[in-house]
Structure 1
Amino acid sequence: MSTLATLRINGRRLMEQIEALGHVGALEDGSVCRLALTDEDRRGRDLAVSWMRELDLDVRIDRVGNIVGMREGTEVLPPVMTGSHIDTVATGGKFDGAYGVLAGLELMRTLNEAAARTRHPLAVAVFTNEEGVRFHPDMLGSLVYAGGLGVEDAWAIRATDGPSLGEALARIGYAGPMAPGAIVPHAFVELHIEQGPILDAEGGCLGAVGNLQGISWQEVTIRGAANHAGTTPMPMRRDAAHGAARTVCFVRDLAQEIGGAQVGTVGSLQLAPNLINVIPREAVLTVDLRNPDDTVLKDAERRLDTFLRGLADREGLEIQTRRLARFEPVVFDQRIVSAIQEAADLLGQ
């Protein structure tokens, strides 16, 4: 009889389910579009829930659409939880998020086949709107689950295409009855793709993540004056696009100057009136700053603020900022990190 230490999942079967979910919202170029709480997301959720029920999991849905599938333990204890998300960005990959959810289900399937029991119950979670593309902020479902945002406040958040979160949940049938956070995990472990080039560049296959980087999202609105591109002398311009361009360059230079783990990105930029022969009167851009050290992240935010105030004075622009999201860094439990490292070493990874 197999012991828990000797059990191995069926990798081929896991890949088949990843491929099956990847067909939901698949685009012609091979990417996937399952924006949160759209019809594609509903179809993906329905598929994940059907797989949970095939495994005889107790499926529960909370008031912001988070899904939790529970497998009983031998003792009445808090569950060990895994999982991730299945919503994607507009051109996402089939592994991002889905890997963590479906790997958790494959674990349950392997345990069922071996008739293996665990002391703690096991849970697989699918969190709502992790990506933050259609509803801001990102990681919204898990934020509500952890108590960082109230249910009513979350319901009121408007999608980029109009409906509120509450309306979107009701439309797709995933406004559940459970209070978010009602199932308090003993521990949480998530399997996730790296989403970066480091493991590949170093010839690695698995990394044990030690912390969660802090995230600062801001929207910057720059207002100048629209004038004719051919008749307005350069010294007399109040060019919002120029201000935006300077900001883009500053964010990159700032990250490179700080160095280490600091990164900075301007991921969205819109100009108005967006005409070839008109100096833009307005530019709206987003700034994404990240660092695992909150002191360094706060310094980067301060330096960005100083730059923007100076830019407004020099160029005769009006600049406003709006906080979109702010998450402090989190250091993970070293016991869990060590357990992951030991398991990887055992498997030669």
Structure 2
Amino acid sequence: MTTSSATTAASRRLAIDGDRLWASLTDLARIGAYTDQTTGLVGVNRQSLTDEDAEGRRLLVRWMERAGLEVTVDEIGNIFGRREGEDPALAPVMAGSHIDSVGTAGAFDGCLGVLGALEVVRSLDERGLTTRRPLVIIAWTEEEGVRFGTDMLGSAVAVGRLTLDQAYELTDSSGLAFGDELARIGFRGERPVRLEPPHAYVECHIEQGPVLLRQGLALGVVTGVQAISWQKVTLYGRAAHAGTTPTELRVDPGLAAAQLVVRVREMVDSGRYGRLRATVGHLVTSPGLPSVVPERAELTVDLRNPDDAHMAAAEADLAAFLEGLPQAQPAPGLRVETRRMARTRQVPFDERIQKTITEVASDLGHETMRLMSGAGHDAQEMAAITPTAMVFVRGQYDGISHNPREFSTPEDCAAGVTVLANTLLRLADETSDA
């Protein structure tokens, strides 16, 4: 069933089945589906290592096996599907993303990359084509970081940025340990987690932003990922009666939390930190009663910046603000505690693979643009060990993501995965690592 890979990859143009890709996206989205009470839209809640994630994983494994892939699972739950090449000794070309979600997701974030790579394999099989190098599809574990507090976890451990023990010891808000939950759902595999560098890695992903939509383009070539900093800030004060405690005697962490929220916005608006973006996405007070001054407030601060120097300056100034926050309160006694959740530097992607993606897209009749990713992706971890790049697919509704309104059209998804397919075909037919 083979066609010699001595035939140039450029002459072996590969078409994918867009209807089948769309059906796969729809079928996976049914797992963890919920109805948003505000909008009435159907979203996806398939957080990492939940029963829903386990069900989605099992469906993906079945699809991989039906496509003839050799399926293995590593010690952190990353799922690999290998399609053999003419020379199994050559380093493989890898493609994938993740199928775990945030609590209020759509059907495309991560899933397009995994199911798109699967569709590439299905299409190769239908054409009877083999590649010189093996192809490997990957579904990474806990990319989102919403349950265990560290994003890109599976890929970070696979490339050695974090250790397996560090991952296993992470806990969710209920105190459940990552390692225990991984075993519970049956995906604590035996394959060694440390990944041998592949020949290349390519990830197809919905943009999660409005740039392509506003430029009128279906596809983008990603130049890299901006720096990301996550930390949890816990403020400890003193609970008191809301009616009887004078304002000047209160140690109110709720007030301090509000000051912090305002401060991070002022940092963005100041322009001193380049294209800084700052978000407080989680804020809770305890005991959370209307008639009680809280004794504790917990926040997360998400900073993002395409420039490492600007990011470092923003982090330093935020740390100084937090250090001085107790002195800015009406009464003494506020205590500030911080914990680093995640920190990645700005990551540039491989110029040669960006060029290949651009050429493939042009050959297929698609105009593209270069753009940096504002969101984090497993590709940024893989860039530490192998030439890496990404294909972005246009999102609708101003590119909203992490929301039930997240949407891309069947045509744009098919276009992005067709570019992915032909990029992988070219890379997997390369004989050297140059």
Q: TM-score, normalised by structure 2?
A: 0.77
- In structure 2, the CA distance between the partners of 1:260 and 1:19, relative to structure 1 (3 Å rule), is farther
Shift of 1:266: 0.4
Tell me the alpha carbon deviations over residues 219-254 of structure 1, each in whole angstroms, 9 at most, x when there is no partner: 111122222222333333322111101111111221
Q: Which residue of 1 aligns with 2:20?
A: 13
- Pick from 319, 326, 331: which aligns with 1:312? 326
Q: Which residue of 1 aligns with 2:276?
A: 262
Contact 1:64 1:180 in 2 (8 A): yes
1:284 aligns with 2:302: no
Tell me the alpha carbon deviations over residues 49-101 of structure 1, each in whole angstroms, 9 at most, x when there is no partner: 11111111111110110011011111221111010000001111110110000
> Which segment drifts farther, 204-213 or 254-263?
254-263
Shift of 1:260: 4.6
Q: Which residue of 2 aligns with 1:321?
A: 338
- In structure 2, the CA distance between the partners of 1:116 and 1:125, relative to structure 1 (3 Å rule), is same
- Pick from 119, 124, 132: which aligns with 2:132? 119
Q: Which residue of 1 aligns with 2:112?
A: 99
- Pick from 31, 37, 58: which aligns with 2:49? 37
Q: Hey, what's the Cα distance between the residues in 1 that align with 2:278 and 2:217? A: 25
- Pick from 81, 84, 89: which aligns with 1:72? 84
Q: Which residue of 2 aligns with 1:149?
A: 162
Equivalent residue of 2:220, what SS? coil
Tell me the alpha carbon deviations over residues 160-205 of structure 1, each in whole angstroms, 9 at most, x when there is no partner: 2332122111111111111113443111110011112222223222
> Which segment drifts farther, 161-170 or 136-145?
161-170
- Pick from 57, 61, 68: which aligns with 1:56? 68
Q: Hey, what's the Cα distance between the residues in 2 that align with 1:44 and 1:183? A: 26
After the TM superposition, which residues 157-172 of structure 1 pair with which residues of structure 2 at under 5 Å, given as runs? 157-172=170-185
Contact 1:34 1:90 in 2 (8 A): yes
Q: TM-score, normalised by structure 1?
A: 0.95
1:242 aligns with 2:259: no
Contact 1:222 1:283 in 2 (8 A): yes
Opposite residue 47 of structure 1, the aligned amino acid is L
> Which segment drifts farther, 76-85 or 145-154?
145-154
Q: Hey, what's the Cα distance between the residues in 2 that align with 1:252 and 1:336? A: 37
Q: Which residue of 1 aligns with 2:204?
A: 191
- In structure 2, the CA distance between the partners of 1:215 and 1:124, relative to structure 1 (3 Å rule), is same
> Which segment drifts farther, 120-129 or 200-209?
200-209
After the TM superposition, which residues 169-188 of structure 1 pair with which residues of structure 2 at under 5 Å, given as runs? 169-188=182-201
Listed as ranges, the gaps of 5+ residues in structure 1 are none
Contact 1:134 1:161 in 2 (8 A): no
> Which segment drifts farther, 313-322 or 253-262?
253-262
> Which segment drifts farther, 232-241 or 330-339?
232-241
After the TM superposition, which residues 128-143 of structure 1 pair with which residues of structure 2 at under 5 Å, given as runs? 128-143=141-156
State how many pairs are aligned.
Answer: 349
Q: Hey, what's the Cα distance between the residues in 2 that align with 1:98 and 1:286? A: 26
> Which segment drifts farther, 54-63 or 221-230?
221-230
Contact 1:169 1:175 in 2 (8 A): yes
Q: Hey, what's the Cα distance between the residues in 2 that align with 1:301 and 1:246? A: 17
Shift of 1:261: 3.1
Contact 1:219 1:324 in 2 (8 A): yes
Tell me the alpha carbon deviations over residues 279-330 of structure 1, each in whole angstroms, 9 at most, x when there is no partner: 2221110101111221111111001011112221121322121111111221
Shift of 1:102: 0.3
- Which one has the bigger strand percentage? 2
Equivalent residue of 2:297, what SS? strand
1:28 aligns with 2:41: no
1:47 aligns with 2:64: no
Q: Which residue of 2 aligns with 1:334?
A: 351
Q: Hey, what's the Cα distance between the residues in 2 that align with 1:172 and 1:77? A: 33
Q: Which residue of 2 aligns with 1:348?
A: 366
Specify which structure has the bigger relative contact order, considering alpha-carbon pairs within 8 angstroms and separated by 6 or more residues: 2
- In structure 2, the CA distance between the partners of 1:235 and 1:182, relative to structure 1 (3 Å rule), is closer
Q: Which residue of 2 aligns with 1:229?
A: 242
Opposite residue 288 of structure 2, the aligned amino acid is N
- In structure 2, the CA distance between the partners of 1:162 and 1:310, relative to structure 1 (3 Å rule), is closer
> Which segment drifts farther, 64-73 or 311-320?
311-320
Q: Hey, what's the Cα distance between the residues in 2 that align with 1:256 and 1:206? A: 31
Q: Hey, what's the Cα distance between the residues in 2 that align with 1:3 and 1:26? A: 43
Opposite residue 28 of structure 2, the aligned amino acid is L
Q: Hey, what's the Cα distance between the residues in 2 that align with 1:224 and 1:162? A: 24
Contact 1:4 1:116 in 2 (8 A): no
Equivalent residue of 2:259, what SS? helix
Shift of 1:116: 1.1
Listed as ranges, the gaps of 5+ residues in structure 2 are 37-41, 368-434
Contact 1:65 1:169 in 2 (8 A): yes
Contact 1:105 1:124 in 2 (8 A): yes
